[in-house]
A and B are shown apart, each in its own frame.
Chain A
Amino acid sequence: MIYPLVSTQMVAPTYFATGNWARRARFKSLLIKAAGVISLSVAVVSQSLAAEGKRVTITGEMIDTWCYVSQIMGSSAVVTGTAHHVCAVWCAAGGIPVGLLDKKDNKVYMVLSFEGDDTSVANAKILNLQSHELTVKGTVFELDGLSYLNIDEVIADNGIVNLTHEKFGIVPGDARP
């Protein structure tokens, strides 16, 4: 929603005091044009931000976003780490978006590219890093409420450190031998 910088309530009473309908029409037209210019500017700025992205360094776990967000197999805590490793591999191999779960604030970044490879469906390198805790450098783009991440470089791979199986067992049960 774009709001005009000057409200009609502030300006209109004196401007329309004469009852000049031609002026009123011109004023309305001016407002519509102003709103259009502002909308266009906002759109251009948004597009520009989306195109440039923001450089970041993030430490977090590579997760299966479907199970984490939908919680179809239990709470988000259950569907991370060792308890959910097999399912995380299945889902990544099946093409579900992989996410990086920021260790700092549990924010989920949807991974769209990895070290120059723009394959984000069943990417072989990513498959082999499911459930790992990584520190990465990359670029974050915001689009319609989601945060997307292009991983440029893995600075550290700490392996799998989230030992959730100790608390939750293996989820789902058919991931057991």
Chain B
Amino acid sequence: MANKIKLTNRFIRSLFLPLIASAVITGCATPAGEVDVWPITNAEKSGLTGQVVDVLCELNGNCADNCGEGTRQLGIKTEAGGTVLVAKNLSNYSGAAEELWNYCGEVVEVNGLFTEHQGVRFFQAQNVRAPDGQWQKATRFLDVWTERTGKPASLAKNWQYHDEVVNEIIERDGRLGLGPEADQDYFESQ
């Protein structure tokens, strides 16, 4: 049984990791403005035009200057009236707040993918078109990370390995989150 599970795990990893890697690599190679279809659930290529809004502000009037300047989840309030949560950008393991907050309150165009599962539907922005009309890839997070941490820009693409806040948590809690001893027991047994 255990062997079967391990085989299944290897299968999952061998199946999905190349897909993810190719999606990210292809995404980086795709010209600005074009949308790459990632292997995600109910992926729907789409473009949105609307006002950049702070979701919390939309909900209960709790608003911050400049949509929180990258500290709050943001959405696009479309011309049709609905607010779409933009949960993801084009970089590894990062959200969309840094891609959008500079346009707080302005009408922008974004394109990318919707994904939906269990009734939750939100958007991955791959490109943002500023009011001046130029498409920009939604990877501003990497520049902000480089500036914030003072680390070399060459590390930004895989920022998750080099982020001190992240590494402190992993060092303290372990990769399983159960403490360093549980990690040691588990990984030595692999």
Contact = CB atoms under 8 A, between A and B. Distances in A.
Interface of A: 50-53, 65-66, 68-74, 76, 78, 82, 85-87, 89-91, 93-97, 106-108, 110, 112-113, 118-122, 124, 127-128, 130-132, 141, 143-146, 148, 150, 160, 165, 167-177
Interface in B84-104: 84-85, 87-88, 91-98
Interface in B135-186: 141, 159-160, 163, 165-166, 169-170, 173, 175-178, 183, 186
Given A85-B177, A90-B160, A108 B120 contact: yes
A53 B178 contact: no
Given A95-B95, A165-B176, A146 B187 contact: no
Given A70-B38, A85-B177, 15 more contacts: A51-B61, A68-B117, A71-B40, A85-B175, A93-B160, A94-B91, A94-B93, A96-B94, A108-B120, A121-B70, A121-B73, A121-B97, A127-B169, A170-B176, A177-B187
Given A69-B116, A146-B122, A120 B72 contact: yes
B82 interface: yes
Contacts of B6: 169
8 contacts: A65-B122, A82-B177, A85-B177, A95-B94, A95-B95, A97-B95, A160-B176, A167-B5
B48 interface: no
Contacts of B39: 72
Contacts of B122: 65, 69, 97, 146
- Which 4 A-B pairs give the minimum distances between C-beta atoms? A95-B95, A94-B94, A70-B40, A169-B9
Interface in B16-59: 16-17, 19-20, 23, 38-41, 55-56, 58-59
Nearest to B38: A72
A85 B92 CA distance: 16
Given A89-B169, A167-B5, A53 B60 contact: yes
A61 to B, nearest CB: 11
A69 B95 contact: no
A131 B170 CA distance: 13
Contacts of A168: 5, 9, 12
A65 to B, nearest CB: 6
Contacts of A87: 93
Interface of B: 5-6, 9, 12-13, 16-17, 19-20, 23, 38-41, 55-56, 58-62, 64, 68, 70-73, 82-85, 87-88, 91-98, 115-122, 124, 141, 159-160, 163, 165-166, 169-170, 173, 175-178, 183, 186-187
B103 to A, nearest CB: 16
Contacts of A113: 56, 62
A176 B175 contact: yes
Contacts of A124: 165
